[in-house]
Chain A
Amino acid sequence: MISATAATAKTPLLKLEGLFLKFGGVLVLSDVSLEVYDGEIFSIIGPNGAGKTCLLNCVNRFYHPERGKIFFQGREITHCKTHEIASFGIARTFQNVELFKGMTVIDNIKLGHHVHLNTGILSAGYYFGSARRTELKLRKEIEETIIDLLEIESIRKKKVGTLPYGLQKRVELARALAMKPKLLLLDEPVTGMNLEETEDMARFILDIHEEWGVTIILIEHDMGVVMDISNRVCVLDFGVKIAEGEPVDIRTNDRVISAYLGTKDLAYSRLGG
Chain B
Amino acid sequence: MRCGDLKESYLEDEKIFQSLFVKICLGIFFVVLLIVPFVAGPYVLYIMNLIGFSIIAAVGLNLLTGFTGQISLGHAAFVGVGGYTTAILVTRLGFPFWVALPCAGFVSAGMGLIIGIPSLRVKGLYLCIATLAAQFILEFVFVHWESMTKGIRGINVPPPRIGSFEFNTEKSYYFITFILVILVVGFARNLVRTKWGRAFLAIRDRDLSAEIIGINLFRYKLAAFAISSFFAGIAGGLWVGFIKVVTPEHFPFSLSIQYLAMVIVGGMGSILGSIFGAIFMTLTPELLNMLVGSSKEMFPGLDQFFIPLKDIIFGGLIVGFLVFEPHGLAEIWHRIKTFFTLWPFSY
Contacts and interface: CB of A to CB of B under 8 A. Distances in A.
A218 to B, nearest CB: 17
B295 interface: no
A62 B207 CA distance: 12
A111 B227 CA distance: 21
Nearest to A185: B212
Contacts of B187: 125-126
A264 interface: no
Contacts of B188: 125
Contacts of B336: none
A76 to B, nearest CB: 19
A136 B14 contact: yes
A103 B198 contact: yes
Contacts of B206: 98-101
A187 B185 CA distance: 41
Interface stretch (B159-167, B215-223, B250-258, B272-280): B215-223
Interface stretch (B38-46, B169-177, B189-197, B316-324): B189-197
Nearest to A141: B10
B204 to A, nearest CB: 7
Contacts of B196: 119, 121, 124
B269 interface: yes
B201 A115 contact: no
B103 interface: no
B190 A136 contact: no
A251 interface: no
A131 to B, nearest CB: 6
Nearest to B16: A127
A81 B196 CA distance: 20
A71 interface: no
Nearest to A94: B209
A15 B130 CA distance: 43
A235 to B, nearest CB: 26
Interface centre among A82, A83, A107, A131 (most CB of B within 10 A): A83
A100 B216 contact: no
Contacts of A99: 205-206, 209
A49 interface: no
A270 to B, nearest CB: 32
The majority secondary structure among interface residues of chain B is: helix
A110 B227 CA distance: 22
A92 interface: yes
Contacts of A30: none
A92 B198 CA distance: 18
A126 B199 CA distance: 17
Contact of B14 (A101, A102, A119, A139): A139
A102 B223 contact: no
A107 B215 CA distance: 14
A107 B212 contact: no
A87 interface: yes
B293 interface: no
Interface centre among A62, A84, A114 (most CB of B within 10 A): A114
Interface string A97-135: 011111100010011101101010100111100010001
A114 B212 contact: no
Contact of B11 (A100, A131, A136): A136
Contact of B223 (A121, A126, A127, A139): A121
Interface of B: 10-11, 13-14, 186-188, 190-191, 193-199, 201-202, 204-206, 208-217, 223, 227, 269
Interface of A: 60, 62, 81-87, 92, 94, 98-103, 107, 110-112, 114-115, 117, 119, 121, 124-127, 131, 135-136, 139-140, 143, 175, 179
The 7 closest A-B pairs by CB, nearest first: A86-B214, A115-B214, A100-B205, A98-B209, A125-B187, A127-B190, A124-B194
Given A99-B206, A99-B209, A102-B201, 5 more contacts: A115-B214, A131-B190, A135-B194, A143-B10, A179-B214
30 contacts: A62-B208, A62-B212, A81-B216, A82-B212, A86-B213, A94-B209, A98-B212, A99-B205, A99-B209, A100-B202, A100-B205, A103-B201, A103-B202, A110-B198, A111-B202, A114-B195, A114-B198, A114-B215, A121-B191, A121-B196, A121-B223, A121-B227, A124-B194, A124-B196, A124-B197, A125-B187, A126-B186, A126-B187, A136-B10, A175-B213
